[in-house]
Amino acid sequence: MLMRATARNLSLLRRCSVHYQSTAAVAVEPVRNPDIAYTQIFINNGWHNSASGKTFPTVNPTSGEVITYVQEGDKADVDKAVQAAKKAFELGSEWRTMDASDRGVLLNRLADLIERDRCLIASLETLDNGKPFVDAYNIDLPLVIKCLRYYAGYADKNHGKTIPLDGSYFAYTRHEPVGVCGQIIPWNFPALMQAWKLGPALAMGNTVVMKPAEQTPLSALHVASLVAEAGFPPGVVNVVPGMGPTAGAAVAGHKDVDKIAFTGSTEAGQQVMETAAKSNLKKVTLELGGKSPNIVFKDANLDEAIETSHFGLFFNQGQCCCAGSRIFVEGAIYDDFVARSVALAKQRVLGDPFDANTTQGPQVDQEQLGKILTLIDSGKSEGARLLCGGARHGSRGYFVEPTVFSDVKDGMRIAREEIFGPVMQILRFENIGELIERANRTEYGLAASLFTQDLEKALHFSSGIKAGTVWVNCYDVLTAQVPFGGYKMSGIGRELGEYGLEAYTQVKSVIMKIGQKNS
């Protein structure tokens, strides 16, 4: 039977998920039991066992069963990968002497190969992460491909400036690649986060040592095989699966790594930054946690605001750093918004993520399941009103019932801490004057959204909210063209867009004395 997205699923995807250009009905058969071809460490375009001989299990969150065992890289393996990347970056190497336009050709070729293997990679994402195949195939993988193609176009457009100086001098700037880039990617969007990091790094001529999340290494390793197939020189991209405290820490602390890019929790990001500073003061970009305010004014298009807010929270099982997890609703529409949000939550279909009718898969692992249930219990004990859900779904796998709390107060744990799960918190506001202060009453600042038909109000609040991205009458519109990153403890630096290139280049000033200067 062909895997087809239902009309309802496609409508919801178009309206409420991350931005993409078009979606037709999925007419491919997902690979439910793929042959796992790549479980080793990828260095110098070849596959290697770990130096220690250790492996670790990667688990299917839908069942809790082991999918396969993956080679567990540690400090010794990271060092081998770094030395390979360092050699590939040497002056005179194939990579350093390659025309910039040819780097773009390689990135486009990699995008083509990912497009060829789109069904398989989406299936690996569903198997390893638990996200619905419809989402992985229709949203994640198209965005992966578009991101790589976007940065392929930038490969030969990286240039400096000439600068007029007083006296007989000539000056210009060069935008040079940083060097060996360590990249640590998360488990919530494994393939997409890999593209976000590989694209700008390779376009600018850097080399990479990547550590995928231990929960979801399979798609990253498959893409590594495509790097070699695309024709990238050995050592340009290296992928070392392993644990965060060992392999991840080794990448962050290695003195021959020139730059580190990390996406994950704020707590882990703080450790990465400290380790990076204590090693060689390497450049750091961090994309971390969030507790994003989503503000719905009484003049909003209520139908659109309710549906978009629902998916701004529940998309990807709530496992989004930018999830709209603090929903502030104006008093005049509060009760209606709450009642209709509960009805939508109750319509969510939990189950086999390979099934086209499933709208919510499992959480990624037992640890996340436990954390979410603990925070749900805190909401109950602190006086929030539980309207639906609030418990584990079934006994097999790591499913959480879609949960909605109303009457949430700013000081409650569920209003302060990142839950990273399918738990909606709805807060009431009456006083617009204090709303910006309430929205900013968080240590995070990754994203925010506003629903209003008043342009002046939208401009005022989007200026006042301390967040790296503000969506107006939409949510989760994330494209390769627009920069993304956080204020405060949500991170440092920006990914995506032209701004995303800055982290992967260094500016060098060259000043020459000349015999005679002419204007």
- How far apart CA 490 and CA 440 sit, in angstroms, is 13
**Cβ-Cβ contacts under 8 Å for 31 (sequence gap 6 or more):** 119, 120, 123, 124
> What rounded mean pLDDT belongs to the chain?
95
pLDDT of 1 > 90? The answer is no
Three-class DSSP category at 334 = helix
> Read out DSSP for 468-504?
SEEEES------TTS-B--SGGGEES-BSTGGGGGGG
The length of the chain in residues reads 519
Residue 15 reports pLDDT greater than 60: no
pLDDT of residue 445 exceeding 70, the answer is yes
What is the model's pLDDT at position 26?
A: 57
Strands 65-71 and 162-164 turn out to be: unpaired
Q: How confident is the model at residue 143 (pLDDT cuts 50, 70, 90)?
A: very high
Say how far apart CA 139 and CA 311 lie, in whole Å: 14
Rounded percentage of the chain residues whose pLDDT exceeds 90: 94
Model confidence pLDDT, tens digit, residues 84-135:
999 999 999 999 999 999 999 999 999 999 999 999 999 999 999 999 999 9
Q: Residue ranges per domain, the chain?
A: 41-288+493-506, 293-479
How many Å apart are CA 42 and CA 37, to the nearest integer? 13
Q: Report pLDDT digits (tens) over 34-52.
A: 999 999 999 999 999 999 9
pLDDT tens digits, one per residue of 64-91: 999 999 999 999 999 999 999 999 999 9
Separation of alpha carbons 259 and 503, rounded Å = 8
Query: What pTM value is reported for the model?
Result: 0.94
pLDDT tens digits, 312-340? 999 999 999 999 999 999 999 999 999 99
Candidates 72, 125, 214, 287; catalytic one: 287
Domain spanning 41-288+493-506: CATH 3.40.50.300: no
Distance from C-alpha of 200 to C-alpha of 175, rounded to nearest angstrom: 13
Burial of 319 (0-12, 13-18, 19+ CB in 10 A): buried
pLDDT 10s digits, 456-505: 999 999 999 999 999 999 999 999 999 999 999 999 999 999 999 999 99
- Tell which wins on pLDDT, 12 or 494: 494
- Give the whole-angstrom CA distance, residue 95 versus residue 235: 9
Q: Does the active-site annotation cover 176?
A: no
Q: Which fold has domain 293-479?
A: Aldehyde Dehydrogenase; Chain A, domain 2 (3.40.309)
Task: Quote the radius of gyration of the chain (alpha carbons, Å).
Answer: 23
Backbone angles phi, psi at 212, to 5 degrees: -75, 160
Mean pLDDT of 151-177: 96
Residue 500 has a pLDDT of 98
3-12, 217-226, 296-305: which has the minimum mean pLDDT? 3-12
12 has a pLDDT exceeding 50: no
Residue 424 above 50 pLDDT?
yes
Q: How confident is the model at residue 27 (pLDDT cuts 50, 70, 90)?
A: low
* Percent share of the chain, pLDDT over 70: 95
Residue 505 Cα to chain centre, angstroms: 21
Note the pLDDT of residue 9. 45
